[in-house]
Chain A
């Protein structure tokens, strides 16, 4: 009997969820790295970074399709885990408790599906309003080394002059921190990587990564809001 011939087991789902989760963590780190250019007072820095990505052409499309696939696999495996949980205990406990001690159950771990769904909705909104937002045709143009390019910097700065947008981004980035707090070490565990020496290190790394990534992404809108005078 081979594992391949059978449908996806609960263990298989976790392998997929963990692998795609780590892929998404890698993406988020790179994404923050690029966005750090928004802290600069020189708009060309962020715009030329965006242009470089855009100029990759086919390669960028391939990467984007790959990223979309990673997202979909992550979401589908996570929802499938959640659905199995709903079925596996139809009648819950009258008194809920936490054992403490060796347990890793936390607000982060029990809210993964909720923070995940909010992040998914947020990402759709984020991509629609910025990536597919107004571009050259709508007058968001700049000149980089003699070439006309999209002035994404202007768009982002206008976008984060709006206190509503800033508030939503700040809240969702805190939730991203919670998602990563459990998600990072959990991905390693899902892939079968558990070691008395290294698991505590991975756990601490997850903690730091959650704080650094959430703080990094959350400070950008706040920074822009303050620098644009805090008004529309």
Chain B
């Protein structure tokens, strides 16, 4: 064993299904290379669990490149763990110390019911998008895009909002389990562009309504969402969502 390898104690949330009661279970993770990602560390733990005939820890992952938004868990009380602008698949074990006790929990929110262990159902986010996170205006074919001139700073702002990968860390980190950062990013990236403007009023109203009916809490401006967001989406998006909402209130 290379001498900088880690021996860790994990406290992991285990829960069989949506209805069943879960609990924190302690596991040893020994001889963990600091070059591993957090998910690879869990893969190693799972291999030994499988070898012992135990049920492996269920968690979500797909690209493992930090761009798909599939992975996500709460590590020591912080969504995606201690590194800023990082998804949990891109979090490496070199950020931990030998002998650390690590608490691993699923994203906890009424809008994100646990499917198993660390896997949560984020259909609620799809429902918010379905409520208006698109445009139905005809934008023509690809060459037509060059006919609509968009200033660079506006395009940048739209891209900053569009960087949201919908992982749900904002909800997990929010003391109120609010989905305001996600919803506002999806509202903003369309609202600032000319193609998104015609439907901006109905969009903000339906998406906010859907967000509320999915059981997410209200935003109290704690800003914890921005701090955990792997794409560093700013809470200025939430302010824009409120402006758009106010416009819709007085506009019609």
Contacts and interface: CB of A to CB of B under 8 A. Distances in A.
Interface of A: 1-4, 6, 9-15, 80-81, 84-85, 87-105, 109-110, 112, 182, 185-186, 189-196, 199
A1 B221 CA distance: 28
A101 B84 contact: yes
Contact of B227 (A3, A90, A103): A103
B227 A102 contact: yes
B241 A11 contact: yes
Interface string B206-243: 10110110011111111110111000101110111111
Given A90-B110, A186-B220, A190-B221, 9 more contacts: A3-B249, A9-B245, A15-B242, A85-B176, A99-B227, A102-B234, A104-B222, A189-B235, A195-B236
Nearest to A9: B208
Contact of B177 (A9, A11, A89, A195): A89
Contacts of B243: 192
Residue of A85, A95, A99 most packed against chain B (CB within 10 A): A99
B76 interface: yes
Interface in B51-107: 74, 76-79, 84, 103, 105
A110 B175 contact: yes
Contacts of A186: 220-221
B122 interface: no
B205 A1 contact: yes
A16 to B, nearest CB: 11
Given A85-B220, A193-B239, A98 B205 contact: no
Interface of B: 11, 13, 24, 74, 76-79, 84, 103, 105, 108-111, 173, 175-178, 180, 202, 205-206, 208-209, 211-212, 215-224, 226-228, 232, 234-236, 238-243, 245-246, 248-249, 252
Contacts of A93: 74, 77, 105, 108
A2 B205 contact: yes
B202 A1 contact: yes
Contacts of B241: 11, 192
A183 to B, nearest CB: 9
Contacts of B180: 10
A96 to B, nearest CB: 5
Contact of B109 (A89, A96, A199): A89
B173 A99 contact: yes
